Amino acid sequence: MVSQTKRSKDSISITVDPDLIAIVDEIRKETNTTRSGVISKCLEELARKRKEELMIKYYETMAKEHRNSSQKPIKVLQDIASSWGD
């Protein structure tokens, strides 16, 4: 996530659909901020959601790997136990 501390900012030039600019301007007026402020907040939210999605994917992968690795010893024990009955 982007740090909330004051630091220098870089300037960029972007091309945006006029309908989106109209929405940015509405939000700018509602929140008493600048276009840059609105777009920065949108990018921060997008970055936060992306990070959250990556973390969810990571933990789902780890959980799947844990389930798979925990099943291997059980299978070995079942095989050993079934061989005792022979």
Q: Tell me which DSSP letter residue 13 carries.
A: -
Examine residue 42 and state whether it is found in any structural domain, yes or no: yes
Q: Has this prediction a pTM greater than 0.75? A: no
Backbone phi and psi for residue 51, each to the nearest 5 degrees, phi listed first: -60, -45
Cβ-defined contacts of 66-71 (< 8 Å, 24+): none
Number of domain units in the chain: 1
Examine residue 72 and state whether it is found in any structural domain, yes or no: yes
Domain that holds residue 75: 18-84
What dihedral do alpha carbons 29, 50, 17, 41 form, nearest 10°?
Answer: 20
Examine residue 44 and state whether it is found in any structural domain, yes or no: yes
Examine residue 3 and state whether it is found in any structural domain, yes or no: no
How does pLDDT run across 2-30, given as a tens digit for each residue?
556 677 889 999 999 999 999 999 999 99
Examine residue 10 and state whether it is found in any structural domain, yes or no: no
